[in-house]
Amino acid sequence: MRGLMQDSPLTIDTIFRHAEQHYGDVPIVTNSPKGVTRSTYGEWADRTRRLGGVLDTLGISADGRVGTFGWNSQRHLELYFAAPCTGRVLHTLNIRLFPEQLTYIANHAEDEVVFVDRSVFPLFWPLVDTMTTVRHVVVMEDGGDAELPDDPRISDYETLLAAASPVEFDVRDESLAASMCYTSGTTGNPKGVVYSHRSTVLHTMAALSPNAFGLSVRDVAMPVVPMFHANAWGIAQAAPAAGSALVFPGPMMQPEALAKIIVDEGVTFTAGVPTIWQGVLPHLAGQPHKLREIGCGGSAVPKALSEAYREQVGLPILQAWGMTETSPVASSGVLAKRLEDADDDTKATERARAGIPLFGVEARIVDADSLEPQPWDDTATGELQVRGPWCAKEYYNPDAGTVLSTEDGWMKTGDVAAMDRYGSIRIADRTKDLIKSGGEWISSVDLENAIMSHPKVAEAAVVGVKHSKWDERPLACVVLKQGETATAEEILDHLKPLVAKWWLPDAVEFIDEVPKTSVGKFSKKDLRAKFAEYSLES
């Protein structure tokens, strides 16, 4: 017997129409150096339909790739919908990548047009001739004042929009590609992940659930996570689906500016990587805000950072785990009811976990070679593998030898994790960041967490350096809070009661800043390069 329910496709134009029909009066605010611009979902919907017309006028192919190179803004949200709702494929380019990577990605995806914010135009334009498929560059005014050359490929967003007619959106096939995003490629070339309409709609529903971000018509949501970093973690689709007001920081990503707009616009939900919240903390502490949730992921959320928010801002940080390959949200650390009456430290320890997979995602830990399952005892570790309708099956035209899935259909994450008896995930490390000492593994993440609980420490990253006897030993790279001084002994004494003796770093280096990746994570690759010749044995 077959079910007798309607079989309507899960396509992104359903999210668009829902927002257009029901939330026309809900505000959308975009910040810029010239002040905020105020609009509504109603205006956004009208402009998005006309942007669909612009893509037709520019002659973008039926499934052509539409590149974007910009900050979080209402215009970026227009592109987020106009491209997939007309059957094209949105391709968000990371404005902080190296030029060679940008060229590689635009050519690999075969972008036909790139929409560029004026403030970052000087980063983009020198590359345009290396991008062999790019025929049009559309400039979006974001308060920047970069000069534009006289070139027939360049046009102005608002001029095109004013001349365009609105189009109907009617995507029938949920399996079509909707958008693509490249991982920053810590090793080898960047790898393209291609999201479908179906995967995006299902991910949106999961992101909306109370076990994740819990967005609703009562929220004012601000994605600080860039719209070029893994779909702004789904907020750009979830907010229109839920009717949450949206606040976009635009180019105003400085910590003071972020704290100010959170307060001024009554933001209730926001999300970004830990380094962002580290910077914002002193500007938000003690301010009258309306935040109910701060989402954080992309790398381990230090327990000390979450606790500092609880104490100084009035709410702890909500940790989520995911990857570009998982759309990205796959698990979250919303505290279970059983912990309601637990003491603060127990709760904080629990919040330092990546948490329970969202419904729709299954997770397992296995031996990476034999695929032997590891016990859920919170001690044994293994490669974290996931499966579900918003996890990638394969990369887009991958380099030879790049394999994402196991033979039995699970996605290999490259993360090493333990799981407790509830299946809550605790990320131990990325495989490539684990430190191998005398045949045993040391978790750099655990060491960093312990060092960052020292009151004088602002940031800490731990990398393995070569050792003749032990293979590798940990080196702690520590950034002290402004005005503080500390000795290596002080840091090591702090660690002694917190970690196994053989985990203690062999050396502590005080540095001015931990180098960051293009999406603001600690760049262990750069640190390893910096300390490649470091000698622990002299």
* Shortest Cβ 90–ligand ADP spacing (Å): 17
Look at residues 39, 116, 29 and name the one whose alpha carbon lies nearest to residue 73.
29
Among 415, 446, 459, 472, the residue binding ligand ADP under the rule CB under 6 A is: 415
The binding track of 417-456 with respect to ligand ADP, each residue x by CB under 6 A or -, is ----------x--x--------------------------
- 436, 466, 516, 530: the catalytic one is 436
Q: Say which residues have a Cβ less than 8 Å from residue 420's Cβ, sequence separation at least 6.
A: 353, 376, 377, 378, 426
- 112, 265, 325, 383: the catalytic one is 325
DSSP assignment of 58-102 equals TT--TT-EEEEE--B-HHHHHHHHHHHHTT-EEEE--TTS-HHHH
* Shortest Cβ 193–ligand ADP spacing (Å): 8
The total of other beta-carbon atoms located within 10 Å of residue 312's CB is 13
DSSP state letter for 370: T
* Shortest Cβ 438–ligand ADP spacing (Å): 25
Taking the C-alpha atoms of residue 453 and residue 302, their distance in angstroms, rounded to an integer, is 8
Is 183 a catalytic site residue? yes
- 43, 158, 260, 441: the catalytic one is 441
Is 110 a catalytic site residue? no
Which of residues 48 and 306 has its CB atom nearest to ligand ADP in the complex?
306
Q: Does 381 bind ligand ADP (CB under 6 A)?
A: no
* Shortest Cβ 38–ligand ADP spacing (Å): 31
Q: Does 183 bind ligand ADP (CB under 6 A)?
A: yes
DSSP assignment of 392-433 equals -SS-BSPPTT---B-TTSPEEEEEEEEE-TT--EEEEEEGGG
- Residues in contact with ligand ADP, counted by CB under 6 A, come to a total of 22
Q: Does 230 bind ligand ADP (CB under 6 A)?
A: yes
Which of residues 119 and 324 has its CB atom nearest to ligand ADP in the complex?
324
Burial (Cβ within 10 Å: 0-12, 13-18, ≥19) of residue 103: middle
Taking the C-alpha atoms of residue 256 and residue 262, their distance in angstroms, rounded to an integer, is 10
- 48, 68, 183, 268: the catalytic one is 183
Q: Which of the residues 296 through 335 are near ligand ADP (CB under 6 A)? A: 297-301, 319, 321-324
Q: Say which residues have a Cβ less than 8 Å from residue 192's Cβ, sequence separation at least 6.
A: 105, 108, 109, 180, 181, 182, 395, 396, 397
Which of residues 272 and 298 has its CB atom nearest to ligand ADP in the complex?
298
* Shortest Cβ 229–ligand ADP spacing (Å): 6
* Shortest Cβ 433–ligand ADP spacing (Å): 8
Q: Does 521 bind ligand ADP (CB under 6 A)?
A: yes
Count of alpha carbons within 13 angstroms of residue 232, beta-carbon side: 26
Which of residues 477 and 519 has its CB atom nearest to ligand ADP in the complex?
519
The total of other beta-carbon atoms located within 10 Å of residue 149's CB is 9
**Which pairing describes strands 220-223 and 269-272: parallel, antiparallel, or unpaired?**
parallel
Is 141 a catalytic site residue? no
Look at residues 523, 486, 532 and name the one whose alpha carbon lies nearest to residue 508.
486
Q: Does 272 bind ligand ADP (CB under 6 A)?
A: no
Q: Say which residues have a Cβ less than 8 Å from residue 119's Cβ, sequence separation at least 6.
A: 71, 142, 143, 144, 145, 146, 251
Among 73, 86, 184, 204, the residue binding ligand ADP under the rule CB under 6 A is: 184
Catalytic residues: 183, 325, 436, 441
The residues of the shown chain that bind ligand ADP, judged by CB under 6 A, are 183-184, 186, 230, 297-301, 319, 321-324, 354, 413-415, 427, 430, 519, 521
